[in-house]
Copies of this chain bind each other. A is one copy, B any other.
Amino acid sequence: MKTLLMFAAAAAATPAPKPALAPSEIVAAAPKGDWVAIEPSDLLVMDFASGKRVVIQLMPPPFSQGWVGNIRELAAAHWWDGTSVNRVQDNYVVQWGDATEKKVLPSGLVTVAESEYETDVVNEPIRRPVEIQYNQNPFVVKLLRLDSYSGRAGFSAGWPIAVSFSTKARLKSPAYWPVHCYGMVGVGRDMPPNTGTGAELYTVIGHAPRHLDRNIALVGRVISGIENLSSLPRGTGPLGFYEKPEERTTIKSIRIGTDVADLPRFEYLSTESGSFAKYADARANRRDPFFIRPAGGADICNIPVPVRVVK
């Protein structure tokens, strides 16, 4: 008569015959070839004095590369060492950087234009799945779904991407941009036309604040250790800033993955793979035994791209 207390896994009590798989089971069964290695050179590793660690995957082209380049320079200069987490706003963001606002930035950082919040490098008719050419590389957005913000959203090379065909011209040349899902990392900025340098960063710790899309640069996502940010005490000042310096969590170091000795290897489930298509369908239509009604849909941020540590 006692409840099991659990409601997300179905492993314990699966009835015969052959129940549908849960999304986590589809991911566990994905063949090795459906996983893509994440290069250490594309990782940003934030270490706290406590020994806790947060690992961020930087965003690939064609998005936000000006800011990503600045972030690489800031890490190489060890600029963040001794800075801190200064803001924790519930159901919104955790933000880190220089609380004194006096630390001199490295020379050589670029100023990025607001136009870089989205990209529209396409000049060919839309096909399904959407394919666009970026330099020599095809850029494909797959598994497009209805989106409350842009009209359509899907996945490309492991990232959630919005696609807008909002005007007649856009039918031939849609706009594309990365979206503010849980765990995505963005660039704090001053009032426009300021676009931020990348020295002030935040990550989303609540329901996707998609109104920030195309208004702030997204430069990556947390792939390990988000709980070391999301469970921090909330700040009690305006916007969740800490009111007292001693409330801040000091950052020991932030480095690019290639400069970190003890980093495991990470892989993401290819969003172009058959396993991911099955996983996305199962996120939208849970048929595993715990569920009695498949939802019939899912928003882009309720289909997080699976990432794993390789043993």
Residues in chain A within 8 A of chain B (CB atoms): 2-10, 13, 86-92, 95, 97, 101-102, 114, 117, 145-150, 166, 181-183, 188-192, 194, 196-197, 199-200, 202, 206-216, 226-227, 230-234, 238-239, 241, 283-284, 286, 289-293, 295-299, 301-302, 304
Contact = CB atoms under 8 A, between A and B. Distances in A.
A190 B4 contact: yes
A173 to B, nearest CB: 17
B293 A239 contact: no
B298 A210 contact: yes
Nearest to A4: B190
Given A226-B91, A232-B231, A207 B210 contact: no
B148 A211 contact: no
A157 to B, nearest CB: 21
Nearest to A12: B191
A190 B6 CA distance: 7
Given A292-B114, A295-B149, A194 B9 contact: no
Contact of A227 (B90, B199, B212): B90
A188 B2 CA distance: 11
Closest 8 CB pairs of A and B: A2-B101, A148-B299, A227-B234, A182-B207, A148-B297, A149-B297, A3-B190, A90-B227
B211 A291 contact: yes
A78 B255 CA distance: 52
A298 B301 CA distance: 13
A216 B7 contact: yes
